[in-house]
A and B are shown apart, each in its own frame.
Chain A
Amino acid sequence: AQSVSQHNHHVILSEAASLELGCNYSYGGTVNLFWYVQYPGQHLQLLLKYFSGDPLVKGIKGFEAEFIKSKFSFNLRKPSVQWSDTAEYFCAVTKNAGNMLTFGGGTRLMVKP
């Protein structure tokens, strides 16, 4: 069974610091990859997704992620975080054209003003 690992459970940064959140998955075949964000008290929203093509994907709010197939990774990055980026971030993976989505355990990001 495929699994998704997010090794950073809690991250605390100051405003303007750079962010990188790790995501690794275990499935060896073709995958579709997602990052979702959950702001406090809200439901999940899609940040970005990768299906094929350019492995560097740009999403909303200045986020980007890079798919490195050889490392089974899909790390999320942002050059300069803001206080409003405080949220929980989830990486998710599905097999190509698959019907099930597997989420990582989430990373709680706190940005200090």
Chain B
Amino acid sequence: GDSVTQMEGPVTLSEEAFLTINCTYTATGYPSLFWYVQYPGEGLQLLLKATKADDKGSNKGFEATYRKETTSFHLEKGSVQVSDSAVYFCALSLRQAGTALIFGKGTTLSVSS
């Protein structure tokens, strides 16, 4: 079935370090891909998305490129901040109307100053 696989966490970095969180997917057809962020005790916020191959989603310094050939959507940021500490979820949606998002297991990022 359709699924999303994320790298296991937690990821612990110092401020200004480079971040990569790997995400790969399995899906029938051509899904849309998303990264969501969840801060402690809160719901999910959309961080970025891409809807077709080679699209690059970007927001708040984060980037991810939809790679159809490797079925990947890795999240990157050049210089993390303490405020980026959160749980990051990779997700996909199939293009049929009314279908739910399918999430990866989430990766906890902890950034220290």
A and B: partners?
no
Binding site for A on B (CB under 8 A): none
